Amino acid sequence: MRDVSVLDVLLYGAPIGTLTLVQGDRTLFAFNQAYIDDPDRPTLSLSFKDQFGGLITDIRPTQTVVPPFFSNLLPEGPLRTYLAQQAGVNAKREFFLLCVLGRDLPGALTVRPADGDAGTAEPDQAERARRANVLRFSLAGVQLKFSAVKSDRRNNGLTIPAAGVGGSWIVKLPSARFGRVPENEFSMMTLAARLGMDVPEVQLVDIDSIEGLPEGIGRLDGPALAVRRFDRTAAGPVHMEDFAQVFGVFPDDKYEKASYRLIAGVLGVETGDDGAAEFIRRLVYNTLIGNADMHLKNCSLLYPDRRTAQLAPAYDFVSTVPYIADENAALKYARTRRMAEFTMDELAYLAAKARLPERLVLDTAAATVDAFRTLWTGEKAHLPLSRETVGAIDRHIDSLPLARA
C-alpha cells in the first residue's frame, strides 16, 4: 500500500488525471492533456472552472491531505479512524485511504493505483478481505452507512455486497447516540416530497432484513433508512459533487467557509431560476423543521448530461432540534445564522446579494411556509415520530417569525 505513488483519476471510466504522492507527503493533482484539450470534456467540478468558463489547470499541491475535491470523497471523524485502522493506514494520510476506497465513490468518479504501480500487485486473501470490509463503509460522511442492492431472497430486503461496490441504495443505520434518527429522516424526507421537492425514494427497513452487515458494529435498535442513490441509474453512474467540493473547502470547514447566500448565487448562475427556487424551498423547509445541520456537504449538484449542473435531489433532511437545542443554522443565511432571524427581510437581502429575482425568492418562501403549516398540522400525528420529537418541532415552529409571516 505505501509503495503506491500515483493514482489514476477516472470519470465515467475514462482517465482524466493523476494524483501523485511526492517526497515530503505532498500530493499533486494534474489533469491529463487529452482531458484539457477536449472541448466536450465532462465536468469534474465547478471548483476547476475559472471566471470565463475555462478549465483551471494550475492546482496547488497539498500536504498530508489530498486536494479538497478529493478529500470530500472520504469518510470523516470516528468512521474514518475505524476505516484507516482496518486498511492499515494513517487516517491523516488521505492519499492511501483514497487508494483503498476509490472503487465506490460518489458520482461517476473512480480512483485506482496507476498501471505498473506497486499497489496494483494482487493482494493476498487476508488483504482482500480487509479491503472488502473497508469498502462497505466507503461512502463519505460520519454516519454508518453502506451501499446496498435489493435482495431477492428476502421480501423487501437489502444486501450489502461483499466488496461494498455497486449498490443502488444507501442504507443508514440507527444512531448509537440519538434515538430514532432513521424515523426522523424518513418523516422529514416524506414531508418534503409531499411539498413538491425533488426527493429520492426512501424506505424504513428492518435491520433483520439486511444481509451482509459487517461484524462489530454493535447492537442496533429500531429500523434503518434506505435511500435510493440518485447517482446510480440503469444507464450507469451520474456524476455529482457537493458544495464543499464546489467551493474548494475541506470537510472540516463545511460549517464555516461559505453561506446559503453563496450557494443560492451559484445555483442562480448554473441552474437558473428553477434550481434557485428549489433551493429556497429547501432552505425555508429545513428552517421550519429545525434542521441545524444543513452544511455544505448536505447540498449537491448533479451532471445528468455530463457537463451541465443541476441541483441534485434532496438528502439528509433531519430535524435536529429534538436532539440538540440549537437556534443557529449550520451556515449563515446572508447576514445571520439565527433561525429566528431568518425573516422575509433576510430573504430579500439574500436575494439581492445572490442576484436572484426578489419576487421569485419571497413568493417561493411564502408558498412553502403556507403549504408546510397545513401539511404539518394534518400529518404530524401519522408520521413515525415520537411525541417528544413532535413537541420539539412544534415549539421550534412557534418560535419562528417566518412561520407566522
Which residues are catalytic, by number? 293
Q: What is the distance, to the nearest Å, from the Cα of residue 401 to the centroid of all Cα atoms in its chain?
A: 30
DSSP class per residue in 53-88:
SPBP-----EESSPPHHHHTTSB-HHHHHHHHHHHT
Nearest-angstrom CA–CA distance, 196 and 198: 7
Residue type, 160: I
- The residues, any chain, with a CB within 8 Å of residue 110's CB and separated by 6 or more, are 9, 10, 11, 13, 102, 103
Residue 231, helix vs strand vs coil: coil
Nearest-angstrom CA–CA distance, 254 and 299: 11
Taking the alpha carbons at both ends of the chain, their separation in whole angstroms is 58
Sheet bearing 239-242, strands edge to edge: 239-242, 300-303, 310-311
Nearest-angstrom CA–CA distance, 239 and 134: 23
Helices (H), 136-259: 181-194, 243-246
Nearest-angstrom CA–CA distance, 290 and 107: 29
∠ CA(76), CA(328), CA(376), 5° rounding?
Answer: 100
Nearest-angstrom CA–CA distance, 311 and 276: 8
Is residue 63 within 8 A of residue 24, CB to CB? The reply is yes
Closest CA to 63 of 296, 250, 256: 250
Site of grid cell 477516472: 10
Nearest-angstrom CA–CA distance, 369 and 278: 14
Is residue 310 within 8 A of residue 272, CB to CB? The reply is no
